[in-house]
Amino acid sequence: MSDARASGPVLVMGEAITDLVPDRNGHLHPHPGGAPANVAAGLARLGVHTAFAGALGNDEFSLAHEDRLAAVGVNLELSRRSTRPTALAVASQTPNGTRYDFHLHDTATFRLAPLVEGLERFQAVYVGGLAAIVPPAADAVAETACAAADTTLLVVDPHVREDRTVDPATGRSRLRDLCMLAHVVKASDEDVQKLWPESMPDDRCRRLADDGRLVVLTRGMHGSTAFLPSGVQISVPAAPVTLVNTIGGGDAFMAGLLAGLVARTAVASRQSVDITAAQARSLLEGGARAAALVCAQMGPGTSPRALGANPSKNGPGDSWFAARTTQGEDSLVEYL
């Protein structure tokens, strides 16, 4: 059985933001979040040595972030400290999904510094989220991504978010630039539509893959598709789940996908992804199971075996993820 710990660490760069999520009575409850922080926590819970390069403030929200990440084994040595408060995202449920209203101005969360030295010691570097577009973090993310693209495997999740304090055109341009630098791109169909409105999502993903990238397009309940540099496309359905919550589902998919990728040194090497159709299918299925575990939290269906993570029934290459998720039903469910 492969072990991601033996394959090398992952650096995750971006924001740890606090989500204020309403309950059924409309009362707001704080939850540590932020796409990069979620991915870092998810990777660590899946056994991947993970370093988080974020920025933490001096308030109680920031302490909660630090406790949450440290508790699952995320290395915080590359995270910066600040006397400013933590950025907030107020979540609202709408007929079209979750809407976020951000409170980002003058917070610690985006006081990032570029990392350009020593990136070769990481097997992969992940960037994305609000830090990729919100100053002053955006410049640090861009500089780090440029260095990572030359030294290791750069993984980008554009995770398009819009805020009144960020010019939409500038933000989308930055995210497009990151995708063009990346060796691996994971994006939702909504992300791709917003970044390239002149193209259909599938057409744009094929064009990105034609340049030598692995591109993964997620469609929520409609599953996901991998576009391989070879021109092959592989699609898998979403894992069956009793849906309780969608917040963090995409981040969990990213963690499952990336954990599976770095666990297979024959698939992911420095600055390239050499992947077969069978391996791509396995990676998508791992991401789908991880997302389902999080979307089913606090409700039925949290058992990995109920989601198909049974080592005796999985295809070749799936034993690593299955073993990780069956070590305990709470391994992913609790990370948000």
Q: What does the pLDDT look like over 271-313, one tens digit per residue?
A: 678 888 999 999 998 888 887 677 556 432 222 322 233 322 2
Q: Which of 117, 169, 178, 187 is nearest to 147 (CA)?
A: 117
What is the model's pTM?
0.83
How far is the C-alpha of 85 from the C-alpha of 109, rounded, in Å? 8
CA distance 116 to 179: 18
> Is the pLDDT confidence value at 53 over 90?
yes
Percent of the chain, pLDDT > 90?
A: 53
Provide the terminal-to-terminal Cα distance of the chain, rounded to the nearest Å: 27
Asked, as a colleague might, if the bond just before 136 is cis with ω within 30 of 0, I would say yes
Task: Write the pLDDT tens digit of every residue in 195-216.
Answer: 999 999 999 999 999 989 999 9
Q: Provide the pLDDT confidence category of residue 159 given band limits of 50, 70 and 90.
A: confident
Helix H or strand E segment including 323:
helix 319-325
